[in-house]
């Protein structure tokens, strides 16, 4: 079967925490 890339993984990202430091 053809390969399906896990493109949804690219939407898993850290929040911006610059203002918490």
Partner 1 sequence: AVEDLFTSLNRHIQRSEYEQAIKVADQVLSVAPGDEDAIHCKIVSQIKADNIEHALSTISSNNNFHFYKAYCLYRQNKLDEALESLKVLEKDPATMLLESQILFRQGKMDASVDIYQKLQKSKIESLEINLVAGLVSAGRASE
d(Cα 21, Cα 18) in Å, to the nearest integer?
Answer: 6
CA dist., res. 2 & res. 19, Å (int)? 44
Based on the shown chain and the rule CB under 5 A, indicate whether residue 4 belongs to the binding site for K ion.
yes
End-to-end CA distance of the chain: 47
11 or 16: whose CB is closer to K ion? 11
Binding mask 1-20 for partner 1 (x = CB under 8 A): xxxxxxxxxxxxxxx-xx-x
Query: Residue 5 CB, nearest distance to K ion (Å)?
Result: 8
Residues making contact with partner 1 (CB under 8 A)? 1-15, 17-18, 20-21
């Amino acid at each position: 079967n053809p390969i399906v890339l896990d493109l949804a993984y690219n939407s898993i990202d850290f929040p911006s925490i610059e203002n918490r430091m």
